[in-house]
């Protein structure tokens, strides 16, 4: 059986819109980062997950969008994509950040990868949308800002005795 394949998409990025809208329901928002960001797509053998990452300056990346086709969630696709992304950037950036809804499922998902809470934007979702947004049955109100130090991986690799294999727990 063929292994899942991850590609960086450089052309016709808007063809990925249906899946991107699952990670960010505002198309006008997606338009703001899609072209300047790097779009990663995981195929197994057809499209399963997408992720858009932008360079925010100051050695910092931002995950703008992460989504897995609803029919194929909880099979490890987003985890595979994220691990690939950390690997892809770890020598060039020191920090990766993102903003997400305050739901236990998503927060536990990101904590598995060593993300920690860096801040909170009160009423972000209630101000942005003129209708309530629900995720996992939770009405989204605040946006939680998460960050992860990519340099930790870099330093660990530079010191073979300290190599850490697996996902750090926080």
Ligand X SMILES: CC(C)(COP(=O)(O)OP(=O)(O)OC[C@H]1O[C@@H](n2cnc3c(N)ncnc32)[C@H](O)[C@@H]1OP(=O)(O)O)[C@@H](O)C(=O)NCCC(=O)NCCS
Tokens of 58: 């100051």
For ligand X, the closer CB: 108 or 159? 108
Nearest distance from C-beta of residue 14 to ligand X, angstroms = 18
Nearest distance from C-beta of residue 111 to ligand X, angstroms = 9
List interacting residues with ligand X (CB under 6 A): 22-23, 49, 66-68, 73-79, 98, 100, 105-106, 108-109, 135-136
Coil, helix or strand at residue 141: coil
Nearest distance from C-beta of residue 97 to ligand X, angstroms = 11
For ligand X, the closer CB: 83 or 154? 83
Nearest distance from C-beta of residue 159 to ligand X, angstroms = 29
For ligand X, the closer CB: 105 or 157? 105
Tokens of 38: 């790097």
Helix (H) or strand (E) holding 32: helix 27-33
* Long-range contacts formed by 120-128: CB under 8 A, 24+ apart: 120/144, 120/145, 121/145, 124/99, 125/101, 128/26
Coil, helix or strand at residue 130: coil
For ligand X, the closer CB: 89 or 125? 125
CA distance 69 to 78: 10
């Amino acid at each position: 059986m063929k292994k899942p394949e991850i590609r960086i998409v450089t052309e016709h990025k808007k063809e990925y819109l249906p899946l991107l809208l699952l990670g960010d329901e505002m198309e006008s928002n997606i338009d703001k980062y899609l072209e300047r960001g790097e779009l990663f797509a995981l195929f197994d053998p057809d499209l399963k997950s997408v992720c858009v990452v932008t360079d925010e300056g100051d050695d910092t990346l931002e995950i703008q969008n992460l989504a897995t086709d609803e029919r194929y969630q909880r099979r490890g696709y987003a985890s595979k994509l994220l691990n690939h992304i950390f690997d892809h950037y770890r020598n060039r950036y020191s920090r990766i950040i993102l903003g997400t809804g305050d739901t236990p499922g998503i927060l536990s998902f990101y904590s598995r990868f060593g993300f920690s809470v860096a801040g909170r934007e009160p009423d972000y979702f209630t101000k942005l949308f003129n209708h309530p947004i629900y995720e996992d049955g939770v009405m989204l109100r605040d946006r939680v800002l998460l960050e992860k130090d990519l340099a930790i991986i870099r330093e660990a690799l530079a010191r073979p005795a300290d190599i850490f294999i697996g996902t750090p727990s926080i």
